[in-house]
Amino acid sequence: MRGGGLSIDFGGNQVTIQDMTPQPGAMQPQALNVELASAGVKGSAHHFRFLADRKTGQLAMFVNGKLAGRYSPRAGKASPKRGKHVFLSAQAPGMTLSNLWVAPWAGSFPKKSAGTKTAEPAPLLSDVISLINGDETPGTIESTTPEEIRVRYDGGDVEFPSKRALMIEFTGPPVAPRPGTRLRLTGGGVLTVQSFTLAGGIVSCRSTLLGDVKFPVAALSEIAWQRPGQKAPAGVPAADAKPGSLPPAPPLDQARFNVASLDAAPARSYDVIEIVNAQEAITGRFEMKTTVANDSITLDDALTLTMANATSLTRKTVVEKGAALRVKQIAAESVRGTTRRQQTLTVADGKATVRAAGAAKSPDQILDYPPDTVTLFSLMRIVTALPADAEGEWGIGRVFNEFRMHPQSNESYRLECTGKESIERDNRTRTLTRFTLHHERRAEEIIAEFLLDDAGVLQQVDFLGNASMRGARTTLRLRPAE
């Protein structure tokens, strides 16, 4: 790490913290390994909070609100110039780091009580003002302006210039977060709202805390919908909330499924949309065609990206008739620049054999492929043939990702119809039905969302996280009839 600093490596059930600042005498970096299970941390989705003091090189790590480890440099002569970087690295396969937030803090490390293994920051007994010279002063904030802060002390009120303050921490009990839609702003802020519309280049929204708010759409970088029914416990930050276990959902292959709707569907063309420089940009085209035969259905999908390093993907998939559209075979071709790759995936007896074509082909790859596996591209057809009943839910054993020709993960998923909602687009309000694909055990981790109109036509698909092409978000939006 050039310039030195703290390195934090996340490796599944273990976190490693190292100070990479050059050490005197070419000493090896000092490492602290924290086994999360040994620290009493359970589950797979965690909320981390780090308190770092760059001057002393100390760092405290909280996991789900509990102190799990504390790093301090070894005794001896310290480096004369400590690094100022903090480097985060996800080492475990399939691991995602998200919702990062950086801010100054009061600078008081928590302490463990005698005989305890965990600690929490002591609750504030009054407001605390941190000053730019490192001092802290407790009191009660009476008022603030861009020029002045007024603080009440036992001996009376004191006023001092705002430019002397670094931050203010307010006392008070934790406030239960309210569910809603998160609007992420280009300046780095986040606003949770209960309703919003986009029209005429203006975002109009209503916040429980702030009331009615309006701002230019250019200031909006992302919209994140909260799954209905997902609430954090009272007084617990939303990031710390652990979703409760959901009741079992019927398997997808038992759903009411209208095969005739697939036979009648014409070929459709979608724009590929990605976020580039905080703005939506059309980066390619996706073509989708479905052909129904007597004993099988053929899915023809073609993706062409038109930006730098032009890429094209074609997937010809033969599936069984039925709600799960179980795969028999996929013929795949990928072209990037002058490189062409061809593969054939054949499914039998719970295994998928991936065979590469060409003179320089690699050895066959054998993948676990349970019978209840569903592919992302087949889901684009399935949602159009399912009943659009609000609160309808179906269980899915595994999800196969055609972008990468590999299973999404070895976990179970759930497809849920969340009902109808109004969407503002091109100065027009449309009513669309939303289907959401999310983890069975972690309902807050959404893999894909599908939006259908009243005629059952798929209008838009959002592939999120590692289900997308580039690890962030890929949107397919139906092109207007040409």
pLDDT, tens only, 318-348: 999 888 999 999 999 988 878 888 999 999 9
**Side-chain-side CA neighbours of residue 206 (13 Å):** 3
Residue/partner pairs of 326-329 with CB below 8 Å, 24 or more apart: 326/253, 326/371, 326/373, 327/352, 327/369, 327/373, 327/375, 327/378, 327/400, 328/296
> Which range has the top average pLDDT, 50-59, 193-202, 241-250, 428-437?
428-437
CB 86 within 8 A of CB 6: yes
Percentage of residues of the chain with pLDDT beyond 90: 22
Residue 343 CB neighbours (<10 A) = 19
**pLDDT band at residue 2, thresholds of 50, 70 and 90?**
very low
Proportion of the chain in helix, strand, coil states, percent, rounded to 5 = 5, 50, 45
The reported pLDDT for the residue numbered 1 is: 41
Q: What is the pLDDT of residue 229?
A: 45
Query: In which band, very low, low, confident or very high, does the pLDDT at 474 lie, cut at 50, 70 and 90?
Result: confident
Encode pLDDT of 17-69 as tens digits: 877 766 555 445 667 788 877 767 766 677 788 887 766 677 788 887 777 87
Q: What is the mean pLDDT of residues 205-233?
A: 72
Amino acid at site 407: P
This prediction's pTM = 0.53
- The residue written with tokens 């701002």 in the block is 215
Q: Model confidence at 124, in pLDDT bands (50, 70, 90)?
A: low
Cβ-contact 445, 436 below 8 angstroms: no
- Give, as one character, the DSSP assignment of residue 301: E
Enclosing H/E stretch for 31: strand 31-35
Q: Report the alpha-carbon distance of residue 230 to residue 192 in Å, rounded.
A: 14
Q: Over 60: is that where the pLDDT of 231 sits?
A: no
User: What is the reported pLDDT for 176?
Assistant: 53
136 pLDDT higher than 80: no
Strand partners, 191: 183
Residue with tokens 């100390």: 58
Share of the chain above pLDDT 70, in %: 72
Inter-CA distances, 150 with 48, 85, 147, 307, Å:
34, 35, 10, 54
Single-letter amino acid, residue 144: T
User: How confident is the prediction for the chain on average, in pLDDT?
Assistant: 78
Average pLDDT over every residue of 151-156? 80
**Please, is 452 exposed, middle or buried when counting C-beta atoms within 10 Å of its C-beta (0-12, 13-18, 19+)?**
buried
Q: Choose between 315 and 186: higher pLDDT.
A: 315
**251-271 per-position pLDDT tens digit:** 998 888 888 889 888 999 999
pLDDT exceeds cutoff 90 at 314: yes
Could you tell me if 376 and 401 are in contact, meaning their C-beta atoms sit under 8 angstroms apart?
A: yes
Which residues are paired to 291 by β-bridges?
298
